[in-house]
C-alpha cells in the first residue's frame, strides 16, 4: 500500500512537468501580451519591460529559466500585481477559495448523499422523483444564474448575506463564504445525489441484501450498515477530484459574489496575459487534482478490497 502511494506521488513530478510545459508553450502562442493597453506605450518602453521580465529572450531560454525557478518553488513576479510575487498571490487567494470550497463540499455531501439514499430506497416512487428533480435543478441551472438570484434574494431582499467583498462585513449575519458555498454546493450536490442513488440501487439489488431482508434485519440497519459501504463507492471516486475542483475556486461564483479567491485570480491572469501567474495557478491546480485523485483512490481501496491492485 505504502509503495503504491509513494509510486503515485512520484508520478506527480512527470505529470506536473508535462502540465507546465504544455501550458507554457500554449501561453506563448496565444496573441496579445501583458503590456498592451488601450493607450499604447512607446516601443522603447515595451522593449524595456520585455527585457526586465526576460520576455525578449528566445522561448527555449525562457522555458529553461522558468523551469529552474520552479524547482525551487519560485514562481516569479506577477505582471498584474506589480508588487507581489506569484507565491504571494496564491498564498493570499487560496485560503479564501479553500474556505468556500470546503463549506461547499460539506453542503454537497450532506444534501447529495441524503437525497440519493432517500431516492434509492424509494425507487420509482414520489420520494425518488422529488429529490432527483430538485437535484436536477442543481445541474440544470448554471451557477452564473443561480448565483445572482441567490445574491438578490439573500443579499438584497433578506439582507442576510453580503453581496460583494470578503473583509470587514460584519453587519450581516452570514459570513461572505456562505452564499458562494451554497451556490457551488448545490451544483455538486446534484451529481453526488445521482451517484449515490445509482450506487445504492446497485447494492440494494444484490443477493446479500435480499438475504438480510429475509433474515428479518430491520430496514434502516440494512441501509446504513450493509448497503452504504458499497453504495457510496462511486461517490468516493467522485469526491477526490471534486474536492480539488471546489477548492481551486469556481471562478463563476467568485466573480458573481466578488470574493478575492484563486479562481478569479486565475481567470484574470489569463485575460491579462500574466504568464507567471497563469503557470503558477495551473501548476497549483494540477498538483491539487493529482493529489486528491490519489486520496480518493486510496479511500476507495480501503473501502472495497476488490479494487485493490
Partner 1 sequence: MPPGVPFAEPVPVQIELLEQGSSLWKDAWFRLKKNRVALLGLWTFLLIAVVCFAGPFFTGFSYESTEITLKASAPLERILSKTQLRKVGEAKETYLALSNLEDEFLEKSVAERRAIVKQVESGDEFREGNVTYRLSKQRHFFGTDPLGRDLLTRVLVGGRISLAVGFAATVVSMVIGVIWGVVAGFAGGKVDTIMMRSVDVLYALPFTVVVILLMVTFGRNFVLLFVAIGAVEWLNMSRIVRGQIIALKNQEFIEAAISLGLSARRIMFRHLIPNVMGSIIIYATLTVPNVMLLEAVLSFLGLGVQPPLSSWGVLIDEGSRTMETSIWLLFFPAIFFSLTLFSLNFLGDGLRDALDPKASKD
Partner 2 sequence: MKTVMALISALFLSGLLWVQAQCAIIDTSSYSLTLREANRNKILLITVGSEPRTLDPQAAQGVTEHHIIMAMIEGLVAPSLRDQSKVVPGMADRWEHNEDSSIWTFHIGEDREWSNGDPVTAHDFVFSYRRMLTASFGAQYAENLFILKGAEDYYKGKTRDFDKVGVKAIDDHNLRIELVGPTPYLLSLVQHDSWLPVNPKAILKFGNIDTRDTKWTHAGNFIANGPFVMKSWRPNDVIQVVRNPRYWDAANVKLNGINFYSIENLNTQDRAFQAGQLHKTDQVSLDKVPYYRRVHPELIRIDPYEGVYFYRLNISRKALDNPKVRLALNLAVDREAIVKNILREDQKPATGFTPPGMGDYEPLKKHSYDPDRARQLLAEAGYPNGKGFPKFTIHFNTLESHRAIAEAIQQMWKEELGIEVTLENQEWKVYLDTQNSMNYDISRSAWIGDFMDPVTFLSMWTTGNGNNNTHWSNPKYDALIDQAARTGDPQARLEVLRQAEDIFLREAPVVIIYWYTNAYLLQPSVQNWYPLVLGNHNYKYIDLKDEFEATK
Contact residues toward partner 1 (CB under 8 A) are: 11, 14-15, 18-19, 22-23, 26-27, 29-31, 129, 133, 136-137, 139-142, 144-145, 148-149, 152, 187-188, 191, 194-195, 198-199, 202, 205, 234, 237-238, 240-246, 248, 250, 252, 266-267, 270, 278, 281-282, 285-286, 289-290, 292-293
| 186-215 binders of partner 2 (CB under 8 A) | none
On the 0-12 / 13-18 / 19+ scale of CB atoms within 10 A, 178 is buried
Stretch that binds partner 2, among 1-9, 16-24, 115-123, 151-159 (CB under 8 A): 151-159
**CA-CA distance, 141 to 235, in Å (whole number)?**
22
**Contacted by 213, from partner 1, partner 2, none: CB < 5 to 8 Å by type:** none
How far from the centroid of its chain's Cα atoms is residue 304's Cα?
Answer: 25
**Contacted by 307, from partner 1, partner 2, none: CB < 5 to 8 Å by type:** none
Stretch that binds partner 2, among 38-46, 114-122, 186-194, 218-226 (CB under 8 A): 38-46
Kindly state whether residue 264 participates in binding partner 2, applying the rule CB under 8 A: yes
Residue 169: how many CB atoms within 10 A of its CB?
Answer: 14
Phi, psi dihedrals of residue 107, rounded to the nearest 5°: -60, -50
**CA-CA distance, 184 to 190, in Å (whole number)?**
10
Kindly state whether residue 101 participates in binding partner 2, applying the rule CB under 8 A: no
Among 2, 3, 14, 38, binds partner 2 (CB under 8 A): 38
- Residue among 14 and 43 whose Cβ is closer to partner 1: 14
Distance (Å) of CA 234 to CA 68, 184, 223, 226, 237: 40, 20, 16, 16, 5
- Residue among 52 and 93 whose Cβ is closer to partner 1: 93
Amino acid at each position: 500500500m505504502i509503495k503504491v502511494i509513494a509510486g503515485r506521488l512520484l508520478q506527480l513530478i512527470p505529470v506536473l512537468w508535462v502540465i507546465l510545459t504544455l501550458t507554457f508553450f500554449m501561453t506563448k502562442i496565444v496573441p496579445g501580451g501583458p503590456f498592451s493597453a488601450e493607450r499604447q506605450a512607446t516601443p522603447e518602453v515595451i522593449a524595456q519591460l520585455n527585457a526586465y521580465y526576460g520576455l525578449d529572450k528566445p522561448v527555449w531560454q525562457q522555458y529553461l529559466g522558468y523551469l529552474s525557478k520552479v524547482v525551487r518553488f519560485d514562481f516569479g513576479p506577477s505582471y498584474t500585481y506589480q508588487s507581489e510575487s506569484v507565491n504571494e498571490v496564491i498564498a493570499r487567494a487560496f485560503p479564501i477559495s479553500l474556505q468556500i470550497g470546503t463549506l461547499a463540499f460539506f453542503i454537497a455531501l450532506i444534501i447529495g448523499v441524503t437525497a440519493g439514499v432517500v431516492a434509492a430506497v424509494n425507487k420509482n416512487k414520489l420520494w425518488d422523483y422529488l429529490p432527483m428533480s430538485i437535484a436536477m435543478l442543481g445541474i440544470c441551472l448554471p451557477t452564473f444564474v443561480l448565483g445572482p438570484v441567490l445574491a438578490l434574494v439573500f443579499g438584497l431582499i433578506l439582507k442576510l448575506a453580503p453581496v460583494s467583498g470578503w473583509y470587514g462585513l460584519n453587519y450581516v449575519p452570514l459570513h461572505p463564504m456562505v452564499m458562494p458555498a451554497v451556490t457551488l454546493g448545490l451544483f455538486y450536490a446534484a451529481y453526488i445525489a445521482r451517484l449515490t442513488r445509482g450506487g445504492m440501487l446497485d447494492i440494494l439489488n444484490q443477493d446479500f441484501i435480499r438475504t438480510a431482508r429475509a433474515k428479518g434485519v430491520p430496514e434502516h440497519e440494512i441501509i446504513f450498515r450493509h448497503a452504504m459501504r458499497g453504495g457510496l463507492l462511486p461517490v468516493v471516486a467522485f469526491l477526490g477530484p471534486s474536492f480539488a475542483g471546489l477548492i481551486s475556486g469556481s471562478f463563476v461564483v467568485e466573480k458573481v459574489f466578488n470574493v478575492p479567491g484563486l479562481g478569479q485570480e486565475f481567470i484574470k491572469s489569463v485575460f491579462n496575459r500574466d504568464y507567471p501567474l497563469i503557470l503558477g495557478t495551473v501548476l497549483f491546480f494540477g498538483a491539487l487534482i493529482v493529489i486528491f485523485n490519489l486520496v480518493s483512490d486510496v479511500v476507495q481501496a480501503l473501502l472495497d478490497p476488490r479494487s485493490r491492485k
